[in-house]
Amino acid sequence: MDAEPLVQDLLSGKVKLYAVDALAGSSQRATQLRRTFLEHKAGVSLPTIGASVLDFDAVSGKNAENTIGAAQIPMGVAGPLWVRGDYATGSYYVPLATTEGALIASTNRGCSVITASGGAVSRVLADTMTRAPLFRVPGIEKGKELAQWVSDHFEEVRAVADAQTRFTRLTGCTPFVTGRNLFLRFEFSTGDSMAMNSATKASDAIAAFIEERFPWASLVAVSGNMCVDKKPSAINLVMGRGKSVAAEVLIPEELVAAKLKTTAARMEEVCYRKIFVGSARAGSLGGFNAHVANIAAAFFAATGQDLAHVVEAAQGITTMENVDGDLYASVTLPDVPLATFGAGTQLPTQREALSILGLSGSSDEPGARCRALAEVFAAVVLAGELSLIGALASRDLTRAHMSLGRARP
Amino acid sequence: MDAEPLVQDLLSGKVKLYAVDALAGSSQRATQLRRTFLEHKAGVSLPTIGASVLDFDAVSGKNAENTIGAAQIPMGVAGPLWVRGDYATGSYYVPLATTEGALIASTNRGCSVITASGGAVSRVLADTMTRAPLFRVPGIEKGKELAQWVSDHFEEVRAVADAQTRFTRLTGCTPFVTGRNLFLRFEFSTGDSMAMNSATKASDAIAAFIEERFPWASLVAVSGNMCVDKKPSAINLVMGRGKSVAAEVLIPEELVAAKLKTTAARMEEVCYRKIFVGSARAGSLGGFNAHVANIAAAFFAATGQDLAHVVEAAQGITTMENVDGDLYASVTLPDVPLATFGAGTQLPTQREALSILGLSGSSDEPGARCRALAEVFAAVVLAGELSLIGALASRDLTRAHMSLGRARP
Amino acid sequence: MDAEPLVQDLLSGKVKLYAVDALAGSSQRATQLRRTFLEHKAGVSLPTIGASVLDFDAVSGKNAENTIGAAQIPMGVAGPLWVRGDYATGSYYVPLATTEGALIASTNRGCSVITASGGAVSRVLADTMTRAPLFRVPGIEKGKELAQWVSDHFEEVRAVADAQTRFTRLTGCTPFVTGRNLFLRFEFSTGDSMAMNSATKASDAIAAFIEERFPWASLVAVSGNMCVDKKPSAINLVMGRGKSVAAEVLIPEELVAAKLKTTAARMEEVCYRKIFVGSARAGSLGGFNAHVANIAAAFFAATGQDLAHVVEAAQGITTMENVDGDLYASVTLPDVPLATFGAGTQLPTQREALSILGLSGSSDEPGARCRALAEVFAAVVLAGELSLIGALASRDLTRAHMSLGRARP
Amino acid sequence: MDAEPLVQDLLSGKVKLYAVDALAGSSQRATQLRRTFLEHKAGVSLPTIGASVLDFDAVSGKNAENTIGAAQIPMGVAGPLWVRGDYATGSYYVPLATTEGALIASTNRGCSVITASGGAVSRVLADTMTRAPLFRVPGIEKGKELAQWVSDHFEEVRAVADAQTRFTRLTGCTPFVTGRNLFLRFEFSTGDSMAMNSATKASDAIAAFIEERFPWASLVAVSGNMCVDKKPSAINLVMGRGKSVAAEVLIPEELVAAKLKTTAARMEEVCYRKIFVGSARAGSLGGFNAHVANIAAAFFAATGQDLAHVVEAAQGITTMENVDGDLYASVTLPDVPLATFGAGTQLPTQREALSILGLSGSSDEPGARCRALAEVFAAVVLAGELSLIGALASRDLTRAHMSLGRARP
């Protein structure tokens, strides 16, 4: 088939956007045809969207559909960032992709403070992906009975789940009975991939297994919004999801002065008033931080994580304390879905970004590489928090000086 | 200066990453040098990150720092999507950039259902950007006094704010006294830009104005976490931020059957059990939807919005109701920061993506273009919700049939 | 009719519990008959429930039904408590009714500290009762239209509301459109009564007024759970309900030492770690305090407030700060429904309890007496917070000493 | 000592309120003296507060201090209520103490519907009291290490806890590391008492045990606000506290019509729009019900529960579903602290109230009696929900009829 006729057919509505791949013989060619169609349709020109390095035959269906090209987001690096994790140790240059000016520069400053202070301790506190299928049951009694059955037959259930995928392993289940609804929040270890798909596949298999045995239990949705995927929620904050990871650093007084131009006492105060009193007064759930979402979004965009997971990763608690003039700072991030393997991490620029960290692909010890990535993530989030709170505290100081200055005759 | 010596200096630590732009004479060249440095440092090769269309002399400082190239995220389109807004009317092809397979295809299906049903009604319910500077005050009495003063002198305060920027206008202020903290949540109309920077600049000017008049009031942070920027929060859910926008559609019974392979009754049930009972049980605040974050992230990445704002945009309520066999569906999104002008929307691929919608740049009636974008956004979010809930409901149906089938001799 | 036959009829099921009042000729007598019936039925004896001062002919229907007597809850007083409010000034003995040992003693200690420090400043920040009727509307467009109509015809709507009751006045309305649901959150000033009933009556009248004019709008519930009455919620935290009241005190260093046996620095730390980090980590919404609910419950039980409103009153933020050795402490309570007039406040013991405060009944300046009660309430809550945090901080100190002691040879 | 001189000394400030018990020789007499003092001081008369059945020598220190008498709250009964629990089976008359008219009558109507429908199924889903001491630790690493140690030495830790009290047994521990804070959320089984005091005592002993072994860990507060006691919180909603209990009933269509004057379809709609859409839009956390707090407060006041715990008990989810014309209704209450033994349950009127249920004191099988109480509680809460939603649905129906009526010529 010729290109132009297909574009004509798109314009006339004879052919649908998604049908072009098959008709054009390749997604690479379909990508170009759809772009041409849009250029005609909207009377615009889309050269930069078209100028991508992507192989759309590889991308199509796996990462995107109805493709027309790529969005290009500026990528920079912050670092060196000294990380003292269980899995990640040493100095890292952290790739960040963003469209917001000053973010990378600010994070870079935070990295510099951390590194000069001997590095950030970073620890994975828990590592569990979850899926919570939702069953319609006749009522509380039956819901309780089924929840008990899953607990009693956990080994059988685990066998069903683990047969579905190579790396994802069922590790636990928390049931929630609510009227005629039974939510089974399954927990999985997932190796180096984020593994939502594997977890879903495993949950689906478990659901079928259950439905066969309990004719009165019927799957309503393989995700019952108690996983919780891509939505703000207390359950993830409390029970964790993906990587639960934390980082901390102790910054000597002289570095607070030299690099952040302020004092530990002032940073402690800004943290307390803004992050704790402010977020409490605003009715925030999990948003007790300065701007974790900024670093999460930039890190996720650069390294091929699911950008919708920024919603989860942005939940976190930042503390800053004046310890005899030195500054203790920490971040606690209970809900960070991450991967070094699969999905977006396989795309060319994203894979390269992970390679800068030496953390692309899967590891011999399943999960070790991804946990290293989580440790780096927590440390760079800490860098971002330090830099922003430092800037606020230091401006505060400047103002105070200016105001003193003004007062003089 | 020669390239190689600068790379050497980076490797030896003599030159810092951020110093390269000035030394290299251009950010375009600095971008390449930093990349080369990283290739040496990490022993990797970064050709695709380097293969970008970006002009780093334009990008640097404005959108990113320490640049090394770009992240490329696959972009596709969903549509045509018929939108019946006050500002956006007609058929749209919506650009979405994502790395998650099936998302665009699924959203596309939702668009098809909406369009076949005569389009989605979409309305901007409110349009306000906020910044909430935080002042340390001597106590409740003084805090109350200052809050009252701002109310009494609102015109003066407005003049100070409006002198700072061309398009951003102060429209209101809600004070929150909490012990020795006074939060002034300022509201702005912002034309077609998202205008966090303008709002910050205006808030800073107001703060200086206040500090001059009230020596006992001292700015702790120009953002006191009651704005709330990029964090989950109830205050934005209740009072709104950015665009508060909603969309709805009534889908005839036969289209539910033909295109979603299910019934309105089943979709209503899935929505009720998963979205309402599930999210209530999970302790969600604002996450009463199926996967708004997915569409928000893809739309934001394609059109140059701040990706960290996905945290806010993902808050929303989805309803689905069986109306005598037809399906009524709606989304309510109280907190969507958007722009058609400025920041990430000026970048090449992002500007082209907006041009596909005919919604790039600023409009003669300030804010009208961005409100149109908000209406399209709500409609495409609705498409995503319909498709996912439809898929769950239809699988449920399939299972039910299979189960009936199995039961037969 | 004779007593015994009626008890026989109750036992045989011939007469229902609620029918006894009419058959017995008086509720006073019915109360005794039901008690006798229960004594027979359950084989128990209920002399103390029967030994009440209540006149059940006055109580029945107004405060309770199917009455059998009264629950007696021990009442004590804490004080003197020096309050420096706009409405309440001077020294108060605060009645508290509780079954939990140590609570009154502890609060009393807090009162003593406050009074010795020159009293607590207390301020009513806002004073608004709310009711939010919920209408079924055809969709977003109509919902928006109706919300606009209410705004445009506010004076008419107010006239309808204000005609219903003597003291309750409509002061505002915030609309929330959500799919086919329109919530109109009406705000009322209520004089000295809590006025839920008046607000409901006024809302009902408004609803009828609206339904007459908009045949497509139909009242689903006069309370649409956005009031929000007697449920935890962010909207009340952010927008306030009932009395929004705050209190603060500055306690000199020597009084912290002498009366609380600790230091301002330690109390600041306990407050920060427990109240802010702890409640943030627990996913609390509005529960950033030590034990506001304890004082609220005891104050409400003593003074005849609606005990279910403890759920709302318990939302609050407590801050404690070390100011050069002195302790600054504050409570912010955005949602405290209170009355000095009507409902439970008219009962004998409750009216006497209010009379101890000199705050029983309604005032010449409508609302002034009840605002005074709110100021006293905030001050006594502050006393409770100070005493508990002080005890924790001081035990901490003791332990430190003991631990030092143990370590010695 | 003579009475009058002591009153004189109180009036002159020579003697403090709390000192009177010792000086007067008995709390019974002290109660009267304090009352006399207040009568003089405030120029009021307090006869009804004084007319109590309480023995203040037994009450003082155990339930209240600085006693002056008692608050009398009207008590009525709702019932018979047929409960089909694991622990409570049969027909119950439920004592409720309240000052709010119509509450008992309304609940009584709900009981009648449930009983006519064959009773409410009621189940205790979990039964755990919690205390979460908070330790200051040097940082994340040490926090993680200590959390691990507690897990590894759980039997030792349990022995320490269990040695403190007769009935309270340590059953689990969930650690939360957050910067320099370690929260250990201990779980206890508590027999028939609510056991906050025992749990506190056990936690204190564990804390001392830990501090001895880990000199770098220091108890900041025996409650770190992650228990969470008497504050709204997500952690209790998700993980449960006290009794997690649920109840349900299926009401035949004809009973919905005859007793509630409405239909299952209408009640389902009111429940969906008000409870789910309304509370979601209001930013409620755990408040997905109609008025659980009302029944909780009345039940707690009557039976001697801690009234501040109403804050926790009011969290719950109510569902109502139209099942082919019949109405399925359920309540899920994850956080209900209850006792049949100890504290307020020992007081005369409260003990009598429990005896009406046959559930006063402790049982041979520790915890069985209190679980029965929880089952009755969930059932009566369900009654309250049914009655209120039914009333709203039925008024809606009436209005519809009236409106039809009005439309006729």
pLDDT at residue number D405: 39
Cβ contact, residue pair D48, C308, below 8 Å: no
Cβ contact, residue pair C103, D64, below 8 Å: yes
- Strand D89-97 to strand D120-131: parallel, antiparallel, or no bridges (unpaired)? unpaired
Question: What pLDDT tens digit does each residue of chain D (409 aa) get?
Answer: 455 899 999 999 999 999 999 999 999 999 999 999 999 999 999 999 999 999 999 999 899 999 999 999 999 999 999 999 999 999 999 999 999 999 999 999 999 999 999 999 999 999 999 999 999 999 999 999 999 999 999 999 999 999 998 888 999 999 999 999 999 999 999 999 998 889 999 999 999 999 999 999 999 999 999 999 999 999 999 999 999 999 999 999 999 999 999 999 999 999 999 999 999 999 999 999 999 999 999 999 999 999 999 999 999 999 999 999 999 999 999 999 999 999 999 999 999 999 999 999 998 899 999 999 999 999 999 999 999 999 999 985 455 444 443 333 3
pLDDT at residue number B403: 46
Q: Name the β-bridge partners of A329.
A: A249, A320
pLDDT at residue number C2: 56
CB D3 within 8 A of CB D29: yes
| Whole-number Å distance between alpha carbons of C131 and C133 | 6
Which residue numbers of A are catalytic? Answer: 100, 306, 401
pLDDT at residue number A74: 98
Give the neighbours of chain C: at least 3 Cβ pairs within 8 Å: A, B, D
Mean pLDDT of the region B22-28? 96
The CA–CA distances, whole Å, from B242 to B97, B193, B310, C237, D329 equal 22, 10, 12, 21, 39
The answer to whether residue C8 scores a pLDDT higher than 60 is yes
Structure tokens, C255: 């009084």
Interface of D with C in 198-227 (CB under 8 A): 208, 211-212, 215, 218-226
Q: Is D401 among the catalytic positions? A: yes
Give the residue from A254, A291, A285 showing the smallest Cα distance to A271.
Answer: A291
pLDDT tens-place string over residues B286-311? 999 999 999 999 999 999 999 999 99
The answer to whether residue B328 scores a pLDDT higher than 70 is yes
Q: How many CB atoms lie within 10 A of CB D124?
A: 22
Which residue numbers of C are catalytic? Answer: 100, 306, 401
Measured between CB atoms, does B149 come within 8 Å of chain D?
A: no
Give the residue from D146, D135, D131 showing the smallest Cα distance to D213.
Answer: D146
Mean pLDDT of the region C236-253? 98
Q: Please tell me which residue in D65, D152, D254, D401 is annotated as part of the active site.
A: D401
**How many alpha carbons lie under 13 Å from residue A195 in its C-beta half-sphere?**
33
Q: How many CB atoms lie within 10 A of CB D11?
A: 13
Measured between CB atoms, does B324 come within 8 Å of chain D?
A: no
Classified as helix, coil or strand, A62 is coil
Q: What phi, psi does B102 have (nearest 5°)? A: 80, -20
A307-311, B85-89, B190-194, B216-220: the lowest-pLDDT one: B190-194
Measured between CB atoms, does D62 come within 8 Å of chain C?
A: yes
Mean pLDDT of the region C268-277? 98
Which residue in the set A123, A140, A246 is minimally distant from D248, CB to CB? Answer: A140
| Whole-number Å distance between alpha carbons of C408 and B394 | 73
Give the neighbours of chain A: at least 3 Cβ pairs within 8 Å: B, C, D
Cβ contact, residue pair D238, B283, below 8 Å: yes
The answer to whether residue C57 scores a pLDDT higher than 60 is yes
Cβ contact, residue pair B77, A34, below 8 Å: yes
Cβ contacts of C46 within 8 Å, gap of 6 or more: C35, C38, C39, C68, C69, D352, D355, D356
pLDDT at residue number B2: 55
Cβ contact, residue pair C68, D76, below 8 Å: yes
Closest Cα of chain D to A338: distance in Å? 21
Cα D39 versus chain centre, distance: 34
In chain A, the residue whose alpha carbon lies closest to the alpha carbon of C276 is A276
Q: Which residues does chain A have within 8 Å of residue C240's beta carbon, measured at their own beta carbons?
A: none
Structure tokens, A275: 């992050």
| Whole-number Å distance between alpha carbons of A300 and A338 | 8
Mean pLDDT of the region C32-51? 97
Q: Which residues does chain C have within 8 Å of residue B179's beta carbon, measured at their own beta carbons?
A: 246, 248, 317, 319, 321, 328, 330, 332
Determine whether D164 is exposed, middle or buried from the number of CB atoms within 10 Å of its CB (0-12, 13-18, 19+): middle
Q: Cis omega before residue C138 (within 30°)?
A: no
pLDDT at residue number C325: 98
The answer to whether residue B195 scores a pLDDT higher than 90 is no
- Residue entry with tokens 């009568």: D39
pLDDT at residue number B73: 98
| Whole-number Å distance between alpha carbons of B35 and B69 | 8
The residue ranges of DSSP E strands in C233-315, in sequence order, are 241-251, 287-288
Q: Tell me the three-class secondary structure of B36-66, residue by residue.
A: HHHHHHHCCCCHHHHCCCCCHHHHECCCECC
Cβ contacts of C104 within 8 Å, gap of 6 or more: C76, C77, C78, C96, C98, C298, D64, D65, D66, D67
Cβ contact, residue pair D234, A239, below 8 Å: no
Q: Which of B271, B274, B276 to mutate to test binding with chain D, by most D CBs within 10 Å of its CB?
A: B276
**Residues of A54-92 as b/e, b for ≥16 C-beta within 10 angstroms?**
bebeebbebbbbbbbbbbbbbbbbbbbbbbbbebbeeeb
The answer to whether residue C53 scores a pLDDT higher than 70 is yes
- Residue entry with tokens 């979709």: B267
Cβ contact, residue pair B319, C181, below 8 Å: yes
The answer to whether residue C3 scores a pLDDT higher than 70 is no
The answer to whether residue C138 scores a pLDDT higher than 50 is yes
| Whole-number Å distance between alpha carbons of C259 and C255 | 5
Cβ contacts of B148 within 8 Å, gap of 6 or more: none
The answer to whether residue B326 scores a pLDDT higher than 60 is yes
Mean pLDDT of the region C304-333? 98
Classified as helix, coil or strand, B160 is helix
pLDDT tens-place string over residues C176-188? 999 999 999 999 9
Measured between CB atoms, does C234 come within 8 Å of chain A?
A: yes
pLDDT at residue number A2: 56
Mean pLDDT of the region B13-29? 96
Q: Which residues does chain B have within 8 Å of residue A268's beta carbon, measured at their own beta carbons?
A: none
CB C282 within 8 A of CB D134: no
Q: Is B401 among the catalytic positions? A: yes
Measured between CB atoms, does B274 come within 8 Å of chain A?
A: yes
Q: How many CB atoms lie within 10 A of CB D19?
A: 15
Through-space distance between the first and last CA atoms of chain D, rounded to whole angstroms = 84
Amino acid at the residue A30: A
Residue B398's pLDDT band (cuts 50, 70, 90): low
Q: How many CB atoms lie within 10 A of CB D5?
A: 12
**Residue pairs between chains A and B whose CB atoms are closer than 8 Å:** 465
Structure tokens, A223: 């995700």
In chain B, the residue whose alpha carbon lies closest to the alpha carbon of A92 is B42
Cβ contacts of B11 within 8 Å, gap of 6 or more: B37, B40, B41
pLDDT at residue number B206: 97
Q: Which residues does chain C have within 8 Å of residue A317's beta carbon, measured at their own beta carbons?
A: 277, 280-281
Whole-complex ipTM: 0.96
| Whole-number Å distance between alpha carbons of C124 and B141 | 10
Question: For residues C13, C15, C17 and C22, what is the CA-based torsion angle, rounded to 10 degrees?
Answer: -170
**How many alpha carbons lie under 13 Å from residue C328 in its C-beta half-sphere?**
14
Cβ contact, residue pair D317, B286, below 8 Å: no
**Residue pairs between chains C and D whose CB atoms are closer than 8 Å:** 467
Mean pLDDT of the region B312-332? 98
Residue A299's pLDDT band (cuts 50, 70, 90): very high
Mean pLDDT of the region B88-99? 98
Measured between CB atoms, does C104 come within 8 Å of chain D?
A: yes
Classified as helix, coil or strand, D180 is coil
Cβ contact, residue pair B180, C121, below 8 Å: no
Q: What is the pTM of this model?
A: 0.96
Mean pLDDT of the region A80-98? 98
The answer to whether residue A229 scores a pLDDT higher than 80 is yes
Q: Please tell me which residue in D229, D248, D306, D312 is annotated as part of the active site.
A: D306
The answer to whether residue B267 scores a pLDDT higher than 90 is yes
**Residue B84 backbone zone (phi > 0: left; psi -120 to 50: alpha; other: beta):** beta
* Sign of the dihedral defined by the CA atoms of residues D132, D134, D140, D141, in that order: negative
